[in-house]
């Protein structure tokens, strides 16, 4: 198929796609993917890879936002230093140049960063003041509403008599011992003596569970990384930059390079490639197959997949090796495990 003629809509669209400057409403920040139209963006948001990125973002949203903000800030300052030096320049123009240079992999800033015009911190303060003013006005309206009215208590007739009837029990009846109540108290005392050891055991169990939960959180924080490639795992190629020939093909990771890249070999063909971790994703096998934890608290552990929950995008894994052998982990995310090469 030949190239589109110069000046045609197809030619212009291809140029825009190559440059990467298209509508930001069709740009996915999490996946760093620029879609060409609304339909393409809709299809992308329904894809499995996009759902994985959203799950990662939900686990630690502040981490990703801070990374985006820092990368934008560093790139923006670097552009000012390298391109404009000490010259006076409009912040909006420098921002547009930064977007142009960064192409479709640029990070569009959040409201924490150096934003031009409408996204300034001053406009945020104005919106906050308006919100507070609305709340004050609402409180005034509620306070002015009419409350309940009270009237004086008056007797309808002056000859009406007031009577007070008090039914007092005899003192002898009150002093009689209640045998049924005494028996009930004795029974309650015996039951409380039996329940006391059980409550102590329950308290100890709760304390143990709290200690284990604390250790799990510490392990998760220490072992959760932004890189996950490991040797001898099977991954799926999800990039189309290599052509349809390799798209969605499975490969075995033979060697990891600088944590974020790897040399892989196709499982059904003697072809070797070097790919970035953004170009591949984990592979979830069928239940009963061996998997490896590539991220999270149990990073590096080997286990057996027991079941898959497709509605929640998670699975249940039993650790099969090491000191934790036999432990069953529930709600393990798809991106934290990958199939082991046989």
**Residue range(s) defining the domain that contains residue 23:** 9-119
pLDDT of residue 247: 92
51 lies in a domain?
yes
252 lies in a domain?
yes
310 lies in a domain?
yes
Nearest to 99 by CA among 91, 87, 89, 107: 107
SS3 of 244, please?
A: coil
Nearest to 251 by CA among 261, 263, 264, 270: 264
138 lies in a domain?
no
pTM of the complete model? 0.42
pLDDT of residue 117: 43
Residues in the chain with pLDDT values less than 50: 104-111, 113-121, 171-176
Domain count, the chain: 2
pLDDT of residue 38: 83
255 lies in a domain?
yes
CA dist., res. 85 & res. 105, Å (int):
25
14 lies in a domain?
yes
Nearest to 277 by CA among 264, 290, 265, 296: 264
pLDDT of residue 275: 92
CATH of the domain at 287: 2.30.30.30
Neighbours of 214 (CB within 10 A): 10
Instruction: Tell me the pLDDT of the chain averaged across its residues.
Output: 77
124 lies in a domain?
no
Cβ atoms of 220 and 336 within 8 Å: the answer is: no
């Amino acid at each position: 198929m030949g190239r589109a003629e110069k000046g045609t809509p197809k030619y212009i669209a291809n140029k825009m796609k190559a440059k990467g400057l298209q509508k930001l409403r069709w740009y996915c920040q999490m996946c760093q993917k620029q879609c060409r139209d609304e339909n393409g963006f809709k299809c992308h948001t329904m894809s499995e890879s996009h759902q994985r990125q959203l799950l990662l973002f939900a686990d630690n949203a502040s981490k990703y936002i801070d990374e985006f903000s820092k990368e934008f800030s560093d790139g923006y300052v670097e552009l000012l230093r390298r391109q404009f030096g000490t010259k006076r320049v409009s912040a909006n123009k420098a921002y547009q140049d930064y977007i142009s240079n960064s192409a479709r992999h640029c990070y569009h800033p959040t409201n924490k960063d150096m934003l031009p015009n409408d996204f300034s911190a001053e406009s945020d303060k104005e919106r906050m003041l308006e919100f507070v003013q609305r709340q004050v006005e609402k409180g005034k309206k509620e306070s002015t509403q009419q409350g309940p009215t009270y009237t004086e208590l008056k007797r309808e007739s002056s000859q009406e008599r007031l009577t007070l009837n008090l039914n007092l029990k005899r003192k002898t009846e009150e002093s009689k011992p209640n045998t049924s109540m005494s028996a009930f108290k004795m029974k309650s005392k015996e039951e409380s003596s039996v329940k006391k050891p059980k409550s102590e055991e329950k308290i100890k169990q709760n304390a143990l569970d709290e200690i284990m939960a604390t250790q799990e959180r510490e392990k998760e924080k220490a072992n959760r990384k932004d890189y996950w490639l490991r040797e001898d795992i099977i991954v799926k190629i999800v990039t189309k930059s290599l052509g349809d020939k390799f798209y969605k093909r499975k490969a075995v990771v033979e060697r990891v390079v600088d944590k974020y890249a790897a040399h892989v070999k196709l499982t059904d063909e003697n072809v070797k490639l070097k790919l970035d971790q953004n170009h591949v994703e984990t592979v979830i096998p069928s239940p009963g197959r061996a998997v490896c934890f590539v991220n999270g608290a149990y990073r590096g552990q080997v286990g057996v997949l027991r079941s898959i929950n497709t509605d929640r995008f998670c699975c249940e894994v039993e650790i099969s090796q090491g000191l934790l052998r036999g432990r069953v982990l529930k709600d393990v995310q798809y991106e934290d495990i990958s199939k082991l090469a046989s």
